[in-house]
Structure 1
Amino acid sequence: MNDTTEVPNQPTENERNPTLTNPDPSSSSPEIVNKIPSLFSLAAEWQINNPQETFQNNILENDVLKRISEITTLIKESYKDLSSQDGMMSKEQQEKMDWDLFCTVPVNIIEQYTKDMDEIFEKMEKLAKQQRLWCESAFQIDVERCGDSILNAETWMKKKERYLEYKNIEMERSANEIKETIQRLTDDK
């Protein structure tokens, strides 16, 4: 899968437009010129290193992609052979193409894909069950805590009401004693 096309030598932007020349190092500060690599050196480095080809080679290391690339090269070769002849494949060319491989590779890819997707769906279902259990248990714990806090508040209110009733009785008794004392004092005069 190494379809690289040669680009014809074309004049660069600087050669076409004489106003776009390399900047004069004396016109700008030397610190900036030293820190900024020139566009020409970057382009040359790009063409020499050719990172696109290394990137494609890394991708093609995958077995499935290798098989697909083999199939596509075989198909391209068969089309080239067909175009050179009268449009019919000879027996030799038909035997050259591995039709079993051509049929089994897509089937294997689809089977592997469905197997992987089934595993992912199983994991998702397990996680969903765990999440539902967690939510239900958290809800149950919240309900119990809420019930306990309501029960505590209710018992506190009942105790406060009893205490206030007791205070009310005591105050009435004290008020009655004060009233009786005042009554006795007024009667003695």
Structure 2
Amino acid sequence: MSDVKEPPNLQSDNNQETALPKVTSPGNPSLNNKVPSLFKLAAQWQINNPQENIQNHIMENEVLQRINEITGLIRESYKDLSSQDGMMSKEPQEKLDWDLFCTVPVNIIEQYTKDMDDIFGKMERLSKQQRLWCESAFQIDVERCGDSILNAETWMKKKERHLEYKHVEMERSANEIKETIQRLTDDK
């Protein structure tokens, strides 16, 4: 006889899988029918497989699905690399030309610097032209505004002279009418 107790058999057809049986403890009657059997819990956990349900529920998220696909692709590409005569092979590899490795980036940076200097030079010339155009447009606007103000001032002075002339003519006409009325009243 062995000291190890075997877990009781679970019946998958029975509805008691969801309702766990309780263990009786002769030493502590307060624990009776309160603590489920650990064997039953483990068996139920293995049968129901909640890990798979949780993973399926989490994998419903589109982002996680894409991450899972990307991870699979990375694993496949790693397997392809390790199976080819690539990094994992023990055959001698071609030696790296360090002079070429150093000169190519330097040439690229020099060409980039030259191109950027040309672009900044063109941009500076264009900004100078733009400033000249803005200053000339401002000067033209100032001259037009000055001419417009001068024309308005001339027109107002002419109107003032014309109104003074009308005022003088009206006073003269009013004086004549007054004198005529006075003569007519004096003649009576």
TM-score, length-scaled by structure 1: 0.51
Deviations 1:41-91 (A, max 9, x none): 5444334566xx9xxxxxxxxxxxxxxxxxxxxxxx9xxxxxxxxxxxxxx
User: Size of the alignment, in residue pairs?
Assistant: 121
The percent of aligned pairs where both chains have the same amino acid is 73
SS of corresponding position for 2:110: helix
Kindly state the Cα deviation for residue 102 of structure 1 after the two structures are TM-superposed.
Answer: 3.6
Q: Which residue of 2 aligns with 1:69?
A: none
Q: Which residue of 2 aligns with 1:45?
A: 69
Distance 2:182 2:125 in 1: 84
User: For residue 173 of structure 1, what is the amino acid of its counterpart?
Assistant: R
Q: CA RMSD in A?
A: 3.4
Q: Which residue of 2 aligns with 1:174?
A: 173
User: For residue 46 of structure 1, what is the amino acid of its counterpart?
Assistant: I
Q: Which residue of 1 aligns with 2:57?
A: 22
Distance 1:102 1:38 in 2: 42
Change over 3 Å in CA distance of 1:111–1:21 after alignment to 2? closer
SS of corresponding position for 2:172: helix
User: For residue 114 of structure 2, what is the amino acid of its counterpart?
Assistant: K
Q: Which residue of 1 aligns with 2:90?
A: none
- Listed as ranges, the gaps of 5+ residues in structure 2 are 1-48, 78-86, 88-94
Kindly state the Cα deviation for residue 151 of structure 1 after the two structures are TM-superposed.
Answer: 1.8
User: For residue 147 of structure 2, what is the amino acid of its counterpart?
Assistant: D
Structure 1 runs of 4+ aligned residues shifted over 2 Å read 14-23, 36-50, 96-100
Higher-RCO chain (CA-CA 8 Å, sequence separation at least 6): 1
Q: Which residue of 1 aligns with 2:129?
A: 130
Distance 2:70 2:54 in 1: 25
Kindly state the Cα deviation for residue 161 of structure 1 after the two structures are TM-superposed.
Answer: 0.9
Kindly state the Cα deviation for residue 15 of structure 1 after the two structures are TM-superposed.
Answer: 6.4
103-112 or 117-126, larger mean C-alpha shift: 103-112
Deviations 1:104-149 (A, max 9, x none): 2232133112112101211211220121122112102211220221
User: For residue 22 of structure 1, what is the amino acid of its counterpart?
Assistant: H
Q: Which residue of 2 aligns with 1:150?
A: 149
Q: Larger radius of gyration, structure 1 or 2?
A: 2
Aligned pairs for 1:80-119 (under 5 A) are: 96-119=95-118
Change over 3 Å in CA distance of 1:45–1:145 after alignment to 2? same
